[in-house]
Amino acid sequence: MTNPNTAANAVELDGKDLPAHCPNPAMPLWSSHPRVFLEFDAHGVAKCPYCGTAYSLKPGTVVGHH
């Protein structure tokens, strides 16, 4: 069985979606957990430590730094 939370099935985010957090606004209320802000790796992929949802940045998305 394939893991549904792999990068191939990740929630794709754009620059307007940053800073990214989980749960995201599209998730149903029953699947809520404490909000956690996501840190993307060098490949533009992040995974929620609570629910395992994978997130990826759309190609060309620039992540700003403070």
CA-CA distance, 13 to 53, in Å (whole number)? 13
Any domain includes 40? yes
Any domain includes 1? no
Q: For the whole model, what pTM was predicted?
A: 0.77
Any domain includes 25? yes
Any domain includes 53? yes
Any domain includes 2? no
Contact 59, 28 (CB under 8 A): no
Any domain includes 63? no
- Summarize pLDDT for 1-47 with one digit per residue, the tens: 334 445 578 999 999 999 999 998 888 888 789 999 999 999 999 99
Pairing of strands 54-57, 45-47: antiparallel
47 pairs with which residues across the strands?
54
Any domain includes 42? yes
Any domain includes 11? yes
Q: In what order do the strands lie in the sheet with 54-57?
A: 11-13, 54-57, 45-47
The count of domains in the chain is 1
Give the range of the structural domain holding residue 22, as residue numbers without chain letter: 7-57
* Other residues' Cβ atoms within 10 Å of the Cβ of residue 44: 18
Is 64 a residue whose pLDDT tops 70?
no
